[in-house]
Amino acid sequence: MSNRVNMRPTSKNILLKVVILGDGGVGKSCLMNRFVSNQFDENSFHTIGVEFLNKDVEIDGETYTLQIWDTAGQERFKTLRTPFYRGTDICMLTYAVDDKASFRNLNMWKSEFLFYADIKENTHFPFIVVGNKTDVSCEERKVTQMEMEMWCDENGVASCIETSAKNASNVQEAFKLAIRHWLKAESKGDKNESCYAADTVDLNKRSSLNRSSCCMGSTEE
């Protein structure tokens, strides 16, 4: 018996699950909030577990509903975030340009994602690398754009972008780039998971479009 239930025949949005990963403090929550609500919090608290928000994006006449999952980057929350990796369509590997360690940890984040999402290493999964906090001064910057591009070349990641959640630079572009990257991977048919229409509820998925926001955990100082 099919586990897909038709709900509304009119809406044809494509629902994409986007997971944002990266070290604690690189600005994952701020990127999500800048993108969804155009707001920035100077004193954003650490995420515990995961939180998600939905936002519709139009590209080339097609509307995509991004279901963006913001995860807790701190190691102590690993067991709270990893159960949410399965069923991801796009993974954003995030670091802060003023934090070299967060850049070095991209390998760890990529491996953790592939393992818990149950995706084979050599699959062309749509990862996108995001270097956040480009508003910092030249003296504070520890990772160059060229280093980011070299890491992507070496690790088979085709898309990368630098952003600032603080001054709203490239944030919309980062999510649109992610969709375009997903479209490319989808057209090659080389992914584990595919999209599904928003007027269809897949009972194997944990999410529903009726919820515009969900909090799995909370924030702490």
Binding stretches for ligand GTP (CB under 6 A):
22, 24-30, 41-44, 46-47, 72-74, 132-133, 135-136, 164-166
Write down the least CB distance from residue 26 to ligand GTP, Å: 4
Q: Which is nearer to ligand GTP, 13 or 164 (CB)?
A: 164
Write down the least CB distance from residue 74 to ligand GTP, Å: 5
Write down the least CB distance from residue 30 to ligand GTP, Å: 4
Q: Which is nearer to ligand GTP, 16 or 72 (CB)?
A: 72
Q: Which is nearer to ligand GTP, 15 or 22 (CB)?
A: 22
Which of 207, 20, 52 minimizes the C-alpha distance to 132? 20
Write down the least CB distance from residue 95 to ligand GTP, Å: 10
Q: Which is nearer to ligand GTP, 42 or 60 (CB)?
A: 42
Write down the least CB distance from residue 174 to ligand GTP, Å: 11
What is the DSSP pairing of strand 90-96 with strand 127-132?
parallel
Q: Which is nearer to ligand GTP, 74 or 82 (CB)?
A: 74
Instruction: For the chain, give the secondary structure using H, E and C.
Output: CCCEEECCCCCCCEEEEEEEEECCCCCHHHHHHHHHHCCCCCCCCEECCEEEEEEEEEECCEEEEEEEEEECCCHHHHHHHHHHCCCCCEEEEEEECCCHHHHHCHHHHHHHHHHHHCCCCCCCCCEEEEEECCCCCCCCCCCCHHHHHHHHHHCCCCEEEECECCCCECHHHHHHHHHHHHHHHHHHCCCCCCCEECCEEECCCCCCCCCCEEEECCEEC
Q: Which is nearer to ligand GTP, 26 or 201 (CB)?
A: 26
Write down the least CB distance from residue 134 to ligand GTP, Å: 7
